[in-house]
């Protein structure tokens, strides 16, 4: 586990704002929990060609603190993906009460991003490297008529899905496996082996089908590629055993299409 940096990338005081100099204050690690609608953003991490959650959050923090601060997230969420419990942290020398970060940020952030909680964390805490597991949820609206209200937060499919086939296919991914066959291109990870602790499909009133998965880590596009493949299983286009076959092959070309980003939520990060 990698320890948190001892100081942020940039350190400048702002005495004109009434803050003490950094030398007179103790360094603090602030942990944030965020909820956001990712529809209008190019994911969490800063990008040269599009607005991101990290960029907007850091800009708001700079207004509060009078200096630039680097915020570290628990991991990337891709363009269009949402979060119910993204975790981030930053290091700063200030005497501001911790509640000021939640309330101050929420007064500056756009309506599609909110800080649910802000709290002090140990100096060794790191949102990404201290994480033990994460839970994602994918939402499918499976009914004849689309929903204008949920247009940006689900995948609408009007063709019925067989829940029992979806549940049977999911049993093949629990445990430790090489998920290279469900990895998006462009990844540079050291290993494609991940351990899935739990994976379920559930049906809710109104035509909703939820896929929820908890694992010690996720590859780029892994959840959306799993969902796209299992939808084909749910339609009877693939046998239930196909998920296990793709895992064994490690060949992304044999898997199904990538499910749209709109239906994917980062639910929680486990520490």
Dihedrals φ, ψ of 133, to 5°? -165, 165
More confident residue, 6 or 191: 191
**Residue 60: closest CA among 34, 24, 86:** 34
Report pLDDT for 186. Answer: 74
Tell me the sheet residues that pair with 146: none
pTM over 0.75: yes
| pLDDT number for residue 185 | 83
> Which fold, 27-121?
Alpha-Beta Plaits (3.30.70)
- CB-CB contact of 112 with 80 (8 Å): no
pLDDT at 90: 98
* 12-16, 205-209, 259-263: least confidently modelled range: 12-16
Over residues 125-129, the mean pLDDT reads 98
> Which whole number is the average pLDDT over 37-45?
96
Q: Is residue 257 scored above 50 in pLDDT?
A: yes
The predicted structure's pLDDT at residue 7: 44
**Average confidence score pLDDT of the chain:** 92
pLDDT of residue 16: 40
Q: Could you tell me which CATH number the domain at 133-270 has?
A: 3.30.70.660
> Would you place residue 17 in the very low, low, confident or very high pLDDT band (cuts 50, 70, 90)?
very low
* Pairwise CA distance, residues 72 & 54, whole Å: 8
Domain with CATH 3.30.70.660 in the chain: 133-270
What would the pLDDT profile of 161-196 be if each residue is shown by its tens digit? 999 999 999 999 999 999 999 999 877 789 999 999
CA distance linking residue 31 with residue 73, whole number of Å: 10
Q: Count of CB atoms within 10 A of residue 22's CB?
A: 18
- Delimiting residues of CATH 3.30.70.580 domain(s) in the chain: 27-121
Tens digit of pLDDT for each residue in 88-119?
Answer: 999 999 999 999 999 999 999 999 999 999 99
In the predicted model, is pLDDT for residue 31 greater than 90? yes
Cα 266 from chain centre: 4
Residue 41: pLDDT above 50?
Answer: yes
List the catalytic residues: 78
Tokens of 203: 């049906």
């Amino acid at each position: 586990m990698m320890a948190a940096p001892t100081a942020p990338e940039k350190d400048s005081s702002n005495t004109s704002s009434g803050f003490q100099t950094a030398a007179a204050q103790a360094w603090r690690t602030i942990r944030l929990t965020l909820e956001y609608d990712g529809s209008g953003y190019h994911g969490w991490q800063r990008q040269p060609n599009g607005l991101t959650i990290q960029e907007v959050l850091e800009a708001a923090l700079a207004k509060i603190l009078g200096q630039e601060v680097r915020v570290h997230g628990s991991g990337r969420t891709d363009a269009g993906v949402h979060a119910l419990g993204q975790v981030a942290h930053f290091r700063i020398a200030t005497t501001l009460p911790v509640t000021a970060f939640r309330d101050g940020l929420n007064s500056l952030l756009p309506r599609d991003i909110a800080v649910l909680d802000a709290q002090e964390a140990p100096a060794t805490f790191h949102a990404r490297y201290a994480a033990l597991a994460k839970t994602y949820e994918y939402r499918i609206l499976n009914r004849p008529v689309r929903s204008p209200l949920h247009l940006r937060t689900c995948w609408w499919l009007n063709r019925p899905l067989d829940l029992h086939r979806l549940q049977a296919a999911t049993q093949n991914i629990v445990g430790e496996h090489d998920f290279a066959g469900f990895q998006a291109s462009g990844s540079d990870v050291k290993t494609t082996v991940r351990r899935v602790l739990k994976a379920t499909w559930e049906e809710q009133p109104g035509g909703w089908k939820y896929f929820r998965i908890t694992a010690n880590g996720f590859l780029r596009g892994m959840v959306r590629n799993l969902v796209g493949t299992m939808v084909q299983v749910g339609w009877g286009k693939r046998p239930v055993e196909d998920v296990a076959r793709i895992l064994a092959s490690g060949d992304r070309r044999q898997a199904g299409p990538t499910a749209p980003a709109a239906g994917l939520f980062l639910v929680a990060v486990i520490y």
